[in-house]
Amino acid sequence: MEAPPVTVLPVSGGTINMMEYLLQGSVLDQSLESLLHRLRGLCDNMEPDTFVDHEMVFLLKGQQGSPFILRARHSLDRPNAPWHLRYLGQPEVGDKSRHALVRNCVDVAVSHNLTEFLSEMGFRMDHEFVAKGHIFRKGALKVVVCKLYRLLLPGNTESTENLSLSNLVELSMLAPAGQDTVSDDMRNFAEQLKPLVHLEKIDPKRLM
Amino acid sequence: MSGGPAVRISIESACEKQVQEVALDGTEMYVQPLSMSQNLAKLAQRIDFGQGSGSEEEEEEGEVREKEWGKRDQDEDETTVKFQPSLWPWDSVRNNLRSALTEMCVLYDVLSVAKEKKYMTLDPVSQENIAVKTPQVLQLISKKKSLATAAQILLKGAEKLTKFVAENQENRRQRDFNSELLRLRSQWKLRKLGDKILGDLSYRSAGSLFPHHGTFEVIKNTDIDLDKKIPEDYCPLDVQIPSDLEGSAYIKVSIQKQAPDIGDLGTVNLFKKQAKIKIGAQPWHVKLETAQNVLLCKEIFAQLSREAVQIKSQIPHIVVKNQIISQPFPGLQLSISLCHSTGDKKNSKSSPEKTRPDDHLYVLEHNLHQLIRGFHKQTLSPALMPHPASAPFGHKRMRLAGPLAYDKAEIASLQQNEGLLEKIIKQAKHIFLRNRTARTIDSLASRIDDPQIQAHWSNINDVYESSVKVLITSQGYEQICKSIQLQLNIGVEQIRVVHRDGRVITLSHQEQELQDFLLSQMSQHQIHAVQQLAKVMGWHVLSFSNHVGLGLVESIGNASAITVASANGEYAISVRNGPESGCKVMVQFPRNQCKDLPKSDVIQDNKWNHLRGPYKEVHWSKMEGRNFVYKMELLMAALTPCP
Amino acid sequence: MQQREEKQLETSIDALITRVAHLKASLQSFIIKLETEYDRLTWPSVLDNFALLSGQLNTINKLLRNEKTPAFRNQVIIPLLLSQDRDEELAKLTEQRVPVFSHEIVPDYLRTKPDPEVEEQEKQLNTEAARMGTDVAQKQIQALNKLCTNLLEKLNNPREDRESENAAIRQNKPTFNPADTNALVAAVVFGKGLSNRRPQGSGGSVPPGQTVGGAGPMLSGGPTLQQVTMPGAPNQQVAMGPQVPNQPGQPGKMPSSIKTNIKSASMHPYPR
Amino acid sequence: MLLTFLFFPIFKWLQCVTVPVAEGKSVQQTVEMLNKKLEQLGAVKQGNFYVDCETYHAGAPAIANSGQSQKFLYVMHNSEAPLSCFALFENGPCLVADPNFDVLMVKLKSYFQNAKGNKVESRGARYQYCDFLVKLGTITMGSSARGISVEVEYCPCIVANDSWNLMMEFMQSFLSSHVPGAPAVFGVKPDGIYSPSDTMVQYLELFNKVRKQQATPSTGMR
């Protein structure tokens, strides 16, 4: 069959060009309680919410060297919730005037047969982990404090192993591209968590 | 602690000056005589020092000193005699210090002299080691004693301190800024900004999205003269609230009738006077609560106004200044207004208001407050938290819409979010409908006494629905005439009537419909009653119809009719009752009793006498009996032959 | 030998004299203060003075207890000479208090009996001590010692606790570990340290003929996230299209190890 | 000669049958005729509907050259589920996602190229007749009308077997002889319980038939 001509198509639905602003840090287990306490005071006055998620990272290899990465995540404690498929673009950390790491991001809520579908598309799982922790919200700001676990058996989320004695702390916010002012809010919020946690923009390239 | 009572005169000090004057070498002279005099005072007990045999050999200086000593002695004696040592607070301290100094001087001198080895010398002797150690028991006892003394002193001091602190606190409890601040902190959100203390009285932490900042400032109340008597209501802490939140405010909901026929809807004013300020509450607390209430009222009104403009309705809602006007039913006007009075204007305003009847709908006002709180709660709903945690914020069910391929109806049901205004209008409609139904039933009951109408209202209602049970009975015959029992479910737009037999009739909000319906039911009731009565009296029902197709056409409903025959079949009673035309009762006589009936040539035989004769109308109004059923019973009894 | 002891005695006496002189001086100044400044004397300064005195007494005690100090207890003072003549030397030595070393003064100076009150007190103590049995006394001593140690501990510990707490607040006790932060971020981004089944070698070791597609997503081999670079490195921009910003200065900063990894990854014969 | 396709998504289970339309009638006219028939039955028109389908093919030569038969990825939308986006492989899994999936496809464009010329869609009217929902659509590819789709849904029931006969009967009332047999998807599902992706699978089959129909003459013309 003749291959149909390739054209660039305008996006028919969805939110275009959303950016995720991100600050990261960690807190030791013994100081976790004080951090949670502080977050409860700083964030919106909601019932504290906990989560247990399983994230799988998938790669698609093209003929060019770098693979395409997609992250599939689903909630283990709320099995009825939709799966979350996520594309994250190249992080930008260079701009000094911006106080947070910025990356392009596409969030898709999908049905539960995602893994099957991704493998049909040619994706291959690279790694997976379980994240357990707390989630807070202050307006559009999201604060996630979680502990990471590695899976002892691939795909088996029952048997896991602690990854470190620290909890990952992520402060993130979604905004349309160009709204860099939100990073100021994030910095202000991060300041309030000092000296308990230092949230900073961490260039992942540095950690390779 | 250092501020003991001031001592005005001290002999010692006078004496001291004297010494300084005499002695050229200030320090030395000054100290020496003191120590020596003390020493001498002690020596004097054993040795006759006063003779001073060697004094002539001493130099002038020494003589002077000698004399001084004597003088000092006298002085000292005088001191002890004339002045109580307690007059000078340091007396005992100084005396003890002095004796210590004496001992030290002696030690110093002995050591110095012995070192010179001219007059004295040190000579080593061997001593047994046992003597070196003081017995432990002695040490124990002495230590215990010293500790006890020290403890006593400390305890005494502590006691004094606690007493002092307690007294102080008692005095200052009401007036202390810091303790007030502490109390404020326990009830309100505070934060420090520079040198200011700012508080938050907005409902943001409860989920409000109202953009007002709602910040107040805490100030220390310093403009009070501390020397004067402090007024009772003085508080060292004051709060500064934003000027637009000053005064008091409330939301007023009322229904005005454009036509006078609509029943009075006003409720009794239960809260004519402003709620009394709680005794013991801090003035700042009252102030903040009022300001917070103003803020909430503003938020409610802002929300309502926004909705009033956005929502499309057949008769558009009108927003004028501080009033929102809507027409729930034709001829009816619901007005919601924000009444915000700031202090001084109150007096001028209140006078014209008093003359007007109070038409607050307190239930709705209360419900508005509840609804806005519900709104607040929604924004903090845990359903907004994403799961898995990486997902963006959004309502849980909305996130499911995509993956579960919700159709339009399902999505609409998710998004369906009735606004405050719609809800309150619905509630107002219901309240209005309920009140008018009650009034309709009441007026019927008072106007018509036969049959009787009773309404049993349920005490517990939904905001959009309430129900009433309507019974139509005849007095004295409640047990046999239970035919009509109606359940009226009053909703927002209409009234659903449920018959005892399960039939459902839906009435609109028009008052006339309900009235006509009840009238027709009452008319039917009479016929039903005759039927029941016939059973009791042993009569036979020959025919029965709820809706008679013959006769005059009634303007409301249909006439109903019944024909009953006496037990032996001689007489028959026929009743027709219409809601409008009233009742008509006919009695049919046996043929043989009709005297005036022309003897027919055809019906000659005796057996034809048993044929029914003609009907005669009963002059019902002239019948005896207090109500229709009673009259009917009498009639039946009259027509029943005596056995 | 004798000489040395003598010398030692002398020095210790000298030392003692200076200490006593200090004590004397502070006593004097304290008395002066009391008498002249009593109207503006503050309680803390009085306490300070007392503290000074007790400190000086303590040093004297220490001096006496010092090993190098010979036992004064074993020394007896013997008067050698009594004289009615005034001795300037003596007067100077005693700061004019004793101009004449005569029979009048000496008995007083050499008295060994304590003051009557002191004597009285001592007597009282002695009688009390005598009344108490040794056993009882021992027990009480032990109890007292225990009490004292406990009390001392209690007094000392909270201070330590408070200090350590303060120290924690002052960041002496860390609440986070930057190394952990990096490890966690690397785990989330690249899966670093998440897998123990990952082959150690680079993707190039996989035989070229192997097919991956049919084996499902769990199959390992080929380049992993840890080995490949982030997209957006200069030689790979094509892959990501325009939404990937071109980061200036990137090529120079690229660590060499990553570069080689890129090579091995891009040269790897993909099965499809 | 113009061929008209009649599609019978039955109880959302689709089936397609080719029926020659009466001489001289265009697709448009046939649709109008059917519309009229439905209205005569008493069905009420309730707005419009559309179903569209984009085709993507793996563009990376590494994949293309591997010798495997080229796979197509179809991304479809249905106005009935406006907040959803369906991604399917032929005879493969169907992923149901939210509209952001379209954005993701843009990000993936160096791996999956959109074949715009292959976009197929069906647009038409939506009728409600008691418990039945009927959607009559004109299938277009590019700019030309290629056929007619008919989707029938019996709303109160989600198990196909239970409603099949009822639907047959209903369809006969306006399609007379063109009523198809049970759809293929029908047999695949063991439980026979309907899910929204079943509709899309049926539409995809339908569209693919239209596409092949079109492909043959076009190659023949060259």
Residue B1 has pLDDT above 50, yes or no: no
pLDDT for B443 equals 92
Is the same domain home to D81 and D27?
no
What is the percent of chain B where pLDDT is above 70?
Answer: 72
Distance from CA of A3 to the nearest CA of B (A): 30
Q: Would the CB atoms of B112 and C93 count as touching at under 8 Å?
A: yes
- Three-state DSSP state, B391: coil
- Three-state DSSP state, B596: coil
Interface of C with A in 249-268 (CB under 8 A): 249, 255, 258, 262, 265-266
Q: Are C180 and A165 in contact (CB under 8 A)?
A: yes
Instruction: Quickly state the pLDDT bin for B82 (edges 50, 70, 90).
Output: very low
What is the count of structural domains for chain D? 2
Give the tokens for residue A110.
Answer: 């999908």
What is the percent of chain C where pLDDT is above 90?
Answer: 6
pLDDT for A86 equals 93
pLDDT for B232 equals 60
What's the mean pLDDT when you consider all of chain C? 70
Q: Which residue of B388, B393, B402 is in closest CB contact with A53?
A: B388
Report the range of poorest mean pLDDT among A173-182, B32-41, B566-575.
B32-41
Task: List own/partner pairs for A157-164 with CB under 8 A and 24 or more apart.
Answer: A157/A54, A157/A76, A157/A130, A160/A130, A163/A129, A163/C183, A163/C184, A163/C187, A163/C193, A163/C194, A164/A26, A164/C180, A164/C183, A164/C184
Question: What is the rounded CA–CA span in Å between residue A104 and residue A111?
Answer: 23
Residue showing tokens 């026979």: D192
- Residues spanned by the domain of D82: 49-118
Between residues C203 and B587, which one has the greater pLDDT?
Answer: B587
Interface of D with C in 60-99 (CB under 8 A): 62-63, 66, 68
The arithmetic mean of pLDDT across residues B458-462, rounded, is: 87
Q: Would the CB atoms of A111 and D97 count as touching at under 8 Å?
A: yes
- For chains A and C, count residue pairs whose Cβ atoms are closer than 8 Å: 170
Distance from CA of B328 to the nearest CA of D (A): 30
Report the range of poorest mean pLDDT among A24-38, B263-277, B280-294, B502-516.
B263-277
The arithmetic mean of pLDDT across residues B601-607, rounded, is: 67
Residue C218 has pLDDT above 50, yes or no: no
Residue A118 phi, psi (nearest 5): -65, -40
The arithmetic mean of pLDDT across residues A170-185, rounded, is: 88
The arithmetic mean of pLDDT across residues B275-292, rounded, is: 74
Report the range of poorest mean pLDDT among B169-173, B175-179, C208-212.
C208-212
The arithmetic mean of pLDDT across residues C90-111, rounded, is: 79
Question: What is the rounded CA–CA span in Å between residue B572 and residue B616?
Answer: 10
Compute how many other C-beta atoms are within 10 angstroms of the C-beta atom of residue A99.
21
Contacts of C193 in chain A (CB under 8 A): 150, 163
The arithmetic mean of pLDDT across residues C171-195, rounded, is: 82
Q: Are A2 and A120 in contact (CB under 8 A)?
A: no
The arithmetic mean of pLDDT across residues B60-89, rounded, is: 45
Looking at the DSSP bridge assignments, the partners of residue A138 are A141
Q: Which residue of B399, B404, B408 is in closest CB contact with D82?
A: B408
Contacts of B389 in chain A (CB under 8 A): 51, 53, 73, 75, 131, 133, 135, 144, 146
Gyration radius of chain B over CA positions: 54
Is the same domain home to D187 and D133?
yes
pLDDT for B618 equals 87
What is the percent of chain B where pLDDT is above 90?
Answer: 12
Question: What is the rounded CA–CA span in Å between residue B623 and residue C154?
Answer: 107
Query: Searching chain C, which residue's CA lies closest to the CA of residue A94?
Result: C247
pLDDT for B438 equals 92
Contacts of D93 in chain A (CB under 8 A): 113, 116-117, 120
Q: Would the CB atoms of C101 and B125 count as touching at under 8 Å?
A: no
Contacts of B404 in chain D (CB under 8 A): 84, 96, 196
Distance from CA of D220 to the nearest CA of C (A): 33
Instruction: Quickly state the pLDDT bin for C207 (edges 50, 70, 90).
Output: very low
List chains adjacent to chain B, taking adjacency as at least 3 C-beta pairs closer than 8 Å.
A, C, D
The arithmetic mean of pLDDT across residues B289-312, rounded, is: 89
pLDDT for B564 equals 92
The arithmetic mean of pLDDT across residues B376-380, rounded, is: 84
Q: Are D175 and D21 in contact (CB under 8 A)?
A: no
Last residue of a domain, one of D84, D118, D152: D118
Distance from CA of A46 to the nearest CA of B (A): 5
Asked if C94 is an interface residue toward chain A (Cβ–Cβ < 8 A), one would say no
Q: Would the CB atoms of C272 and D68 count as touching at under 8 Å?
A: yes
pLDDT for C156 equals 80
- Distant-in-sequence, close-in-space partners of C116: CB < 8 Å, separation ≥ 6: none
pLDDT for B37 equals 54
Is the same domain home to D129 and D157?
yes
Residue C206 has pLDDT above 50, yes or no: no
Q: Are A199 and A25 in contact (CB under 8 A)?
A: yes
Contacts of A7 in chain D (CB under 8 A): 114-117
Instruction: Quickly state the pLDDT bin for D32 (edges 50, 70, 90).
Output: confident
Specify the fold of C2-74.
Methane Monooxygenase Hydroxylase; Chain G, domain 1 (1.20.58)
Distance from CA of A62 to the nearest CA of B (A): 27
pLDDT tens digit sequence for C236-260: 333 343 443 444 444 444 444 444 4
pLDDT tens digit sequence for A26-63: 999 988 999 999 998 888 888 778 999 999 999 988 76
Q: Would the CB atoms of C272 and D109 count as touching at under 8 Å?
A: no
Interface of D with A in 28-67 (CB under 8 A): 54-55, 57-63
Q: Which residue of D62, D107, D110 is in closest CB contact with C270?
A: D62
Distance from CA of D200 to the nearest CA of A (A): 15
pLDDT for C35 equals 82
Is the same domain home to D100 and D203?
no
pLDDT for A70 equals 93
Contacts of A109 in chain D (CB under 8 A): 97-98, 100
Between residues B460 and D166, which one has the greater pLDDT?
Answer: B460
* Interhelix angle B420-447/B283-310, nearest 10 degrees: 90
Distance from CA of A74 to the nearest CA of C (A): 15
Question: What is the rounded CA–CA span in Å between residue B2 and residue B12?
Answer: 21
Question: What is the rounded CA–CA span in Å between residue B581 and residue B561?
Answer: 12
Contacts of B388 in chain A (CB under 8 A): 51, 53-55, 73-75, 81, 83-84
Residue A135 phi, psi (nearest 5): -130, 135
pLDDT for B135 equals 67
Residue spans of beta strands (DSSP E) within B286-442: 318-320, 323-326, 332-341
Domain ranges in chain C are: 2-74, 77-115
Asked if C73 is an interface residue toward chain D (Cβ–Cβ < 8 A), one would say no
Read off the CATH number of the domain in which D143 is found. Answer: 3.30.310
Is the same domain home to D140 and D32?
yes
Closest CA to A116 of B108, D151, D89: D89
Contacts of A11 in chain D (CB under 8 A): 102-103, 106
**How is chain D classified by DSSP, letter by letter?**
---EEEE--BTTB--EEEEPPPTT--HHHHHHHHHHHHHHHT-EEEEEEEEEEEEEEE--HHHHTTSSPPPEEEEEEETTSTT-EEEEETTS-EEEE-THHHHHHHHTTTTEEEEEEEEEEEEEEEEEETTEEEEEEEEEETTEEEEEEEEEEETT--BHHHHHHHHHHHHHHHHGGG-----HHHHH-SS-B--HHHHHHHHHHHHHHHHHHHHHHHHHH-
Residue count of chain B, please give it. 643
Residue B642 has pLDDT above 80, yes or no: no
Distance from CA of C194 to the nearest CA of A (A): 5
Instruction: Quickly state the pLDDT bin for C167 (edges 50, 70, 90).
Output: low
Report the range of poorest mean pLDDT among B136-140, C49-53, C266-270.
C266-270
pLDDT for B39 equals 52
Q: Which residue of C38, C81, C137 is in closest CB contact with B90?
A: C38
Q: Cis (ω within 30 of 0) for the bond into B451?
A: yes
Is the same domain home to D90 and D193?
no
Q: Cis (ω within 30 of 0) for the bond into C199?
A: no
Report the range of poorest mean pLDDT among B232-246, B305-319, B393-407, D119-133.
B232-246
pLDDT for B468 equals 93
Domain ranges in chain A are: 18-203
pLDDT for A134 equals 94
Q: Report residue B212 CA to chain centroid gap.
A: 24
Asked if B401 is an interface residue toward chain D (Cβ–Cβ < 8 A), one would say yes
Q: Are B200 and B189 in contact (CB under 8 A)?
A: yes
Residue D86 has pLDDT above 70, yes or no: yes
Asked if C112 is an interface residue toward chain B (Cβ–Cβ < 8 A), one would say no
Residue D104 has pLDDT above 60, yes or no: yes
- The residue type of B329 is F
Instruction: Flag whether D66 is in a domain.
Output: yes
Instruction: Flag whether D222 is in a domain.
Output: no
Q: Are D87 and D101 in contact (CB under 8 A)?
A: yes
What's the mean pLDDT when you consider all of chain D? 74
Instruction: Flag whether D1 is in a domain.
Output: no
Domain made up of A18-203: CATH architecture: Beta Barrel (2.40)
pLDDT for A36 equals 92
Which residues of D touch chain B, with CB atoms under 8 Å apart? 78, 80-86, 96-99, 195-197
Rounded to a whole number, what is the distance in angstroms from the first to the last CA of chain B? 120
Residue A207 is classified by DSSP as G
Q: Which residue of C41, C86, C89 is in closest CB contact with B57?
A: C86
Contacts of D107 in chain C (CB under 8 A): 241, 243
Contacts of C39 in chain B (CB under 8 A): 6-7
Report the range of poorest mean pLDDT among A188-197, B259-268, B325-334, D76-85.
B259-268
Range among C37-41, C169-173, C214-218 rated most confident: C37-41
Burial of C202-220, coded b for 16+ CB within 10 Å and e otherwise, reads bbbebeeeeebeeeebeeb
Asked if B495 is an interface residue toward chain C (Cβ–Cβ < 8 A), one would say no
Q: Would the CB atoms of A111 and B396 count as touching at under 8 Å?
A: no
pLDDT tens digit sequence for B543-567: 998 888 887 788 888 889 999 998 8
List chains adjacent to chain A, taking adjacency as at least 3 C-beta pairs closer than 8 Å.
B, C, D
Looking at the DSSP bridge assignments, the partners of residue B199 are B190, B216
Asked if C70 is an interface residue toward chain D (Cβ–Cβ < 8 A), one would say no
What's the mean pLDDT when you consider all of chain B? 76
Give the tokens for residue C114.
Answer: 């304590």
pLDDT for B11 equals 42
- Three-state DSSP state, B369: helix
pLDDT for B253 equals 85
- Three-state DSSP state, B489: strand
Q: Cis (ω within 30 of 0) for the bond into B388?
A: yes
Compute how many other C-beta atoms are within 10 angstroms of the C-beta atom of residue B27.
12
Q: Are B137 and C137 in contact (CB under 8 A)?
A: yes
What is the value of ipTM here, to two decimals? Answer: 0.65
Distance from CA of A139 to the nearest CA of C (A): 25
Q: Which residue of B57, B109, B136 is in closest CB contact with C141?
A: B136
- Three-state DSSP state, C64: helix
pLDDT tens digit sequence for B613-636: 788 888 888 888 888 889 998 998
Residue B400 has pLDDT above 90, yes or no: no
pLDDT for A180 equals 81
Residue C265 has pLDDT above 50, yes or no: no
Report the range of poorest mean pLDDT among B349-358, B372-381, B432-441, D102-111.
B349-358
pLDDT tens digit sequence for B89-143: 778 888 888 888 888 888 888 888 888 777 887 777 776 554 445 567 778 888 8
Residue A143 has pLDDT above 60, yes or no: yes
pLDDT for A57 equals 93
Is the same domain home to D40 and D54?
no
Asked if C270 is an interface residue toward chain D (Cβ–Cβ < 8 A), one would say yes
Per DSSP bridges, beta strands B484-490 and B495-498 are antiparallel
Closest CA to B330 of B408, B254, B398, B258: B258
Instruction: Quickly state the pLDDT bin for D137 (edges 50, 70, 90).
Output: confident
Q: Would the CB atoms of C262 and A104 count as touching at under 8 Å?
A: no
**How do the residues of chain C divide into helix, strand and coil, expressed in percent and rounded to 5?**
60, 5, 35
